[in-house]
Amino acid sequence: MRRSLRTAALTGMLAALAMCHGSCMLFAWMAAQFAPPKKVAAQFEPPKGKALLVFVDDILNPVSYEPVKIELTRRLNENLVAHDVAGKTISYDRLADLVASTPDFNLLAVSEVGQKLGADLVLYVRIDSFGLKDKAADQLWRGELAVTVRLVDVTQGRLWPKNRPAGYSMPAVETPTAVQSSETQEQEITDALAAQMADQIAKLFYKHETPHEGGWREPK
């Protein structure tokens, strides 16, 4: 009799725990869905209203597909103006013209490039790695882009990051592995990489919000 009572009690406890487990999962999931976005401070807020040059440079790691520099510049220019980080930006075409007309361009300091184009600030974006195909299988496409950035005042020198002379290394962005699906695969992957990276970089310089990550997770 006692054994039966203990068995019944144990069964009841397990049932209650199971119900609580399910309820807790549901409650945590609902809480995560309705939680307010997380506010993120800018890493650095540049002075307002300045003319800014986005200088995407691949001198150390020449890219296999030149349009990535154009697209990353264009998207950064749009984001920086839209979020009031820059008063105005210098177009990629003007930078390209300066490169073409200056034989010793690669000897110029970043601040000198900015001065020649009438910029107050230069957002220098150094490409560390860029690829469009999976190195392990050339038939598969998988984009990846990694860069290091720094912000330079053309008269005062580096504004940010003060404690990292080489610049701030951004988290790399990637696209999923895929087979050839269109004749414009290169451009499509490049656009996706540029959009992700431009968004990450621009958010370094203005306050923004981000959704809370995840929610309740099953204990291991």
CA dihedral 58, 62, 68, 69 (to 10 degrees): 30
- The domains of the chain are located at 51-209
**Each residue's pLDDT expressed in tens, for the chain with a length of 220 residues:** 555 555 555 455 545 544 555 555 555 545 555 667 788 899 999 999 999 999 999 999 999 899 999 999 999 999 999 999 999 999 999 999 999 999 999 999 999 999 999 999 999 999 999 999 877 667 789 999 999 999 999 999 999 999 999 999 999 999 998 888 788 999 999 999 999 999 999 999 999 887 755 443 333 3
Tell me how far apart the alpha carbons of residues 101 and 69 are, in angstroms, rounded to a whole number: 19
CATH fold of 51-209:
Double Stranded RNA Binding Domain (3.30.160)
pTM for the model stands at: 0.80
Asked if residues 130 and 61 have their Cβ atoms less than 8 Å apart, the reply is yes
Looking at residue 183, its pLDDT comes to: 85
Looking at residue 213, its pLDDT comes to: 56
Cis peptide before 161 (omega within 30 of 0): yes
CB-side neighbour CA atoms (13 Å) of 57: 20
Looking at residue 103, its pLDDT comes to: 96
Tell me how far apart the alpha carbons of residues 167 and 135 are, in angstroms, rounded to a whole number: 27
Looking at residue 217, its pLDDT comes to: 38
Tell me how far apart the alpha carbons of residues 24 and 215 are, in angstroms, rounded to a whole number: 11
Asked if residues 173 and 197 have their Cβ atoms less than 8 Å apart, the reply is yes
- Rounded to the nearest 5 degrees, what angle is found at the Cα of 58, between the Cα atoms of 127 and 117? 105
Per DSSP bridges, beta strands 208-210 and 157-160 are unpaired
